[in-house]
Amino acid sequence: MRCALLVPGPFGAISGGYVYNARIIEGLCSLGHTVRVIELGGRHPLPDAAAEAAARQALDALSPQERPILDSLGLPAFAGCTEELARRGAIGLIHHPTAQEHGLPAATQTELAAREAAVYPRLARLIATSRFTAAGLAATHGLTPAQIGVVEPGTDPAARAGGSGGPGIALLSVGNLLPRKGHDILLRTLAGLADLDWSLSIVGAPLDPVHADGLVGLAGELGLSQRVRFAGGLTPEGLEAEWQRADVFALATHFEGYGMVAAEALARGLPVAITAGGAIADVVPVEASVVSPPGDVVSFTKGLRRLIFDGALRADMAAAAWHAGQRLPRWPERAAAFLAELEAA
């Protein structure tokens, strides 16, 4: 099989979606198939003229044998190419609908939703990265379950986290500095836990520089600057070092199409404190986590307080997380599942 993944550049961007794409491509190639990556220029997800031109050029450049796979981040740019998409049997890879990105102006959300509604029905198949996203696509766009496949992300075998060794609790949050990730909610939560001994490392690239600067300022306003470290985007080796010295993983996300970082935390035996934004709450078992509603600082503060204060509870949750992490699917299995979805289209 020959495919082309059409995705906003750069393909090496650090995010869960781009990691998923790279690992699936790696797996498909290892199974003997060919996947070519075509980076789309212009502005995404709400496309400008350059993005729409890049989308048309990308389709025109495909050979007759190549099946296009549209990454959801670039999919709205193809709203004017629906006939060509249908003719080529294009596939949609949906990490989450772009119209559901947190913090967008209402007009932008409306435009993105209209573009997605125009494209989805003309695709030969949609492949969602979670059952939550698949159910939302079916309910919102009138698609049948038979039109939508689900291929959740995989994990790699990982060493169990050794932890910080004390005296305080080392919290780790992983997510690019965007409004959707809710780092501001986490900071406000921790401001209510100043009587406990903890430190926080936030790993994530400042993709929204204004928001990133605001987070640094918020940490200062809350009196947390000496306890919160913004580590930026790290190499895989640097991130692994952060995982290994953490005691608890925390993320106050507003929405996740899956929640790969929660799975990565489980794979290393870390207790998880999260907000139930999107699919992420489906990833973690109740015995390994404390879960609060998105944006609810009071509830999140109560849950995180228990986890930081109670060492026995934390140890029990860590053991449950480790056992759950060992049952997670691996990437080669996910690539085989993705191939089956392509063949079903």
Instruction: List pLDDT tens digits, range 191-244.
Output: 999 999 999 999 999 989 999 999 999 999 999 999 999 999 999 999 999 999
pLDDT, residue 241, reads 97
Residues ≥6 apart with Cβ < 8 Å to 143: 120, 121, 126, 137
Q: Tens of pLDDT along 68-108? A: 999 999 999 999 999 999 999 999 999 989 988 877 899 99
- State the DSSP H helix or E strand holding residue 171, giving kind and residue range, or none if neither: strand 169-174
pLDDT, residue 16, reads 84
Determine if the pTM surpasses 0.75: yes
Q: Tens of pLDDT along 251-275? A: 999 989 898 999 999 999 999 999 9
pLDDT, residue 10, reads 87
Q: Are 40 and 74 in contact (CB under 8 A)?
A: yes
pLDDT, residue 128, reads 96
Which DSSP category does 76 fall into?
A: G
> What's the average model confidence in pLDDT over 141-153?
89
* Measured CA distances, 24 to 4, 19, 128, 315, 341 (Å): 12, 9, 13, 34, 12
- State the DSSP H helix or E strand holding residue 36, giving kind and residue range, or none if neither: strand 34-40
Tell me which fold the domain 169-326 belongs to.
Rossmann fold (3.40.50)
| Structure tokens, 260 | 């790969």
Among candidate residues 83, 71, 148, 76, the one with its CA nearest the CA of residue 122: 83
* Distance from C-alpha of 168 to C-alpha of 164, rounded to nearest angstrom: 8
State the burial class of residue 295 (Cβ atoms within 10 Å of its Cβ: 0-12, 13-18, 19+): middle
| Structure tokens, 85 | 């998409």
Q: Are 206 and 195 in contact (CB under 8 A)?
A: no
Q: Is the pLDDT of residue 13 over 80?
A: no
Q: Would you mind telling me the total number of residues written for the chain in this entry?
A: 345
Helix (H, G, I), strand (E, B) or coil at 97: coil
pLDDT, residue 104, reads 86
| Structure tokens, 26 | 């790696």
| Structure tokens, 287 | 């015995």
Which CATH number is 2-154+330-344 given?
Answer: 3.40.50.2000
The four Cα atoms 176, 182, 183, 188 give a dihedral, to 10 degrees, of 180
* Delimiting residues of CATH 3.40.50.2000 domain(s) in the chain: 2-154+330-344, 169-326
Strands 91-94 and 198-203 come out as: unpaired
Residue for token pair 């979805």 = 341
Q: Is the pLDDT of residue 340 over 80?
A: yes
Q: How far from each other are the two terminal CA atoms of the chain, in whole angstroms? A: 13
* Distance from C-alpha of 163 to C-alpha of 234, rounded to nearest angstrom: 19
Residues ≥6 apart with Cβ < 8 Å to 193: 301, 304, 305, 308
> What's the average model confidence in pLDDT over 44-71?
96
Average pLDDT, the chain: 94
| Structure tokens, 273 | 């404190």
Among candidate residues 105, 91, 4, the one with its CA nearest the CA of residue 45: 105
Helix (H, G, I), strand (E, B) or coil at 42: coil
The four Cα atoms 18, 22, 28, 33 give a dihedral, to 10 degrees, of 100
Q: Is the pLDDT of residue 246 over 80?
A: yes
> What's the average model confidence in pLDDT over 321-334?
95
